[in-house]
Chain A
Amino acid sequence: MLKDISIGQFFPGKSIVHRLDPRIKILLVFGFIITLFIVRNLVSFGLIILFLAVTIFTAKIPVKTVLKSLKPILPLILFTAILNIFFIDGHVLFRWGWIRITEDGIRLAVLMVIRIVCLITGASLLTYTTSPIALTDAIERLLSPLKKIHFPVHEMAMMMTIALRFIPTLIEETDKIMSAQKARGADLETGGLMKRAKALVPILIPLFVSAFRRAEELALAMECRCYRGGEGRTRMKQLKLTASDWVIAVFVTAFYIVGILMNLWIPALF
């Protein structure tokens, strides 16, 4: 049950999207999100969707997976759409009692839905094609200028790595503890909010105790392997920007700019 959750799932591959420097990838995703929120005409959105489609195709990510990643946010999409359709003032198309649908409402709903869908797809493409370790590595390096103001960049990256390492372990452990308490007759599924919250105690306490024990043992194991913070540390895999990284970065950025500039000539959706 809990095993079905896949946070930041990664699909290993050797495509050009996979091989792109993770720092560039992160920055391009940021650029993508910004573009998404400036652009407000259909032609640009068409281009953006095309861009996403090409990326998905090149990265060989199954379309089914992409759609699956949208499933959890379906309620959010519907909620946004309904809110916009019914509650935006403007030219009324349809009225029934107090319910009315306006043209502006529909336009805005379409705009918002496209934005959310593209945003989630774009962001999940980052995690689909970048291993968690490359991702943390890239974040550590992108944030490294912050070291000057004594921001604990290395420590943060280390914490992220350890968290990623232990998420599956702790999920498995939660499953096990839940089964064990169920075997002692714990009822986790029925009752009101208070009763359910109370029923979590037999699960959370063992989980915390075990997490602390794990932390202690891990800290000792790290010390034994000569860990002493970020000072003087080297890395096995070094990130090096290649010519193709630069070329892709320039092309994609140019593409974003074109998309944004189209706002000037093509009438906005809203």
Chain B
Amino acid sequence: MAIIRVEHLTHHYSPGTPFEKTAIDDVSLEIEEGELVGVIGHTGSGKSTLIQHLNGLLKSDSGKVYINNTDIFESKETLQKIRFQVGLVFQYPEYQLFEETVYKDIAFGPTNMGLNPLQIREAVERAVSAVEIPSSMLEKSPFELSGGQKRRVAIAGVIAMNPRVLILDEPTAGLDPKGRDTILALIQKYHQQEHNTVLLVSHSMEDVAKYATKVLVMNRSRLYAYEDVDSIFTRAAEIEKIGLSVPQITKVFHQLAELGYPVNSNTYRVQEASEQLLRLLKKKGEQEC
């Protein structure tokens, strides 16, 4: 079943002024429940605008957004409910922390949902374990934590609402490689445990290739592609043409395929690449013997 359904969605910024700009143009899309979707595109391609429609922070000029078959702009009440079903983690989410303690900050969302204290505690504990924050940290001020910890607390604040769809806008921006790997691994683990839908906005094709099941490419306000990670890189040349980078491994394998070697040009992970090459080298060794 499609958890997210977008139909002919169009959005203009500053309509009716000389600065009018089409941010998204006639986007239609269905995302199945349980996918981990990598969302990729240039700055200004419309990807941020698109994800802000999915929980109703922005309202479209035309077109519809359905979450779980409910039109999100149907009424004000639906909208408020949708906000809890579609959790949105913004870029640099650690800059939204405001409470005295980590616990209280994570509890902000569940409290707004109107849960009772027991449910709130449960929600916070689940979220905290999902992002692997030790419970000894709960009573600390969020401002005392390190950068990576702050970010995990901020993500926990959204996870605590137990959304069916979790959207993260560049959750690894500004982190070092270790911090980036930690966050992405946590998101993957969370996705596997909860079986819910996760949208991950990223600039890195390599990260998307490593973690996502589907890739959504936005280009010039339009939906350029939405397909399996396993097939998207057959279109590597096309993707490079619109100015997005593909993983180095994919480039290598495309070139090898062009040179006539029997390799799968849709390779994007180091592990698969080395396995394929080792097989080839072994074959070559056998022939020579």
Contact = CB atoms under 8 A, between A and B. Distances in A.
Do A and B make up one complex? yes
Interface of A: 176-177, 179-187, 201-202, 205-206, 209-210
Contact of A205 (B57, B98, B157): B98
Contacts of A186: 108, 112
B57 A179 contact: yes
A176 B97 CA distance: 13
B95 A183 contact: no
Nearest to A190: B76
B112 A180 contact: no
Given A185-B84, A209-B143, A176 B90 contact: yes
B148 to A, nearest CB: 17
Interface residues of B, number: 22
Interface in B66-94: 80, 83-84, 87-88, 90, 93
Contacts of A184: 83, 96, 108-109, 112, 157-158, 161
Contacts of A180: 88, 90, 93, 96
A180 to B, nearest CB: 4
A86 to B, nearest CB: 38
Q: Which of A176, A179, A180, A183 has the most CB of B within 10 A?
A: A183
Interface string B98-112: 100000000011001
13 contacts: A176-B90, A179-B90, A180-B90, A180-B96, A184-B96, A184-B109, A184-B161, A185-B108, A185-B112, A187-B112, A201-B98, A202-B108, A206-B97
A186 B111 CA distance: 9
Interface of B: 52, 55, 57, 80, 83-84, 87-88, 90, 93, 95-98, 108-109, 112-113, 143, 157-158, 161
A168 B41 CA distance: 26
Nearest to B13: A3
A182 B76 CA distance: 13
Contact of A185 (B52, B95, B143, B161): B161
A181 B157 CA distance: 10
Contacts of A205: 98
A185 B90 contact: no
Contact of A183 (B90, B98, B143): B90
A201 B161 CA distance: 20
Nearest to A208: B98
Contacts of A201: 98
* Closest 6 pairs between A and B when the two form their complex, measured CB to CB: A185-B112, A205-B98, A183-B88, A184-B109, A180-B96, A180-B90
A185 B83 contact: yes
A79 B275 CA distance: 80
Nearest to B110: A185
Given A180-B96, A183-B55, 7 more contacts: A184-B108, A185-B83, A185-B113, A187-B80, A201-B98, A206-B95, A206-B96
Nearest to B52: A179
